[in-house]
Amino acid sequence: MHIDFYGLNFITPRVTCYLWSPWRAAAIEHRLFDQVRHIDGIELEQDVDEIRAHLTDAKQWQQLLHAVARVLKGWQEEATDAGRERRSWRWLLEGDTDDHGYDHAGEPAGLWAFLRVAIDRGDYDQGEKGEDIDLNGFGLRIWPNR
């Protein structure tokens, strides 16, 4: 399938969305995965320590991106202190491979996407009071096209 990740184009057989350690994941990570879980035609797998959702269609991919953005925009609007707290989010892309095309776990190398949220509670007079939080319980894997 051909996917567009905010202007980066990939050809991939599938994308897998993960919720790692559900008992330790933050509420926002559960909200994100619950939206993904309700996408039509998604294949779910559940292990003891993770839940996986496999997407094999470009329409599912677009629905995933819109669902994640919707949840995170809602999270931004929940900011407290009427204008004193600003929230933002961004995707972090990561990949690792050896010279044979395999990652650290011996699987074919792919591209990983993780979310980082930021909360800024200060104002200009008080200086920086920002906090970056990596959402380590939620992530995407874009599989290699082999």
Beta carbons within 8 Å of 126's beta carbon, 6+ residues apart? none
Domain count, the chain: 1
**39-85: pLDDT as tens digits:** 999 999 999 999 999 999 999 999 999 999 999 999 998 887 666 78
Range of the domain at 91: 2-142
CB 143 within 8 A of CB 14: yes
Q: Note the pLDDT tens digit of each residue in 98-122.
A: 999 898 888 889 999 999 999 987 6
Q: Check residue 106 and give its pLDDT.
A: 87
> Cβ atoms within 10 A of the Cβ of 94, count?
9
pTM above threshold 0.85 = yes
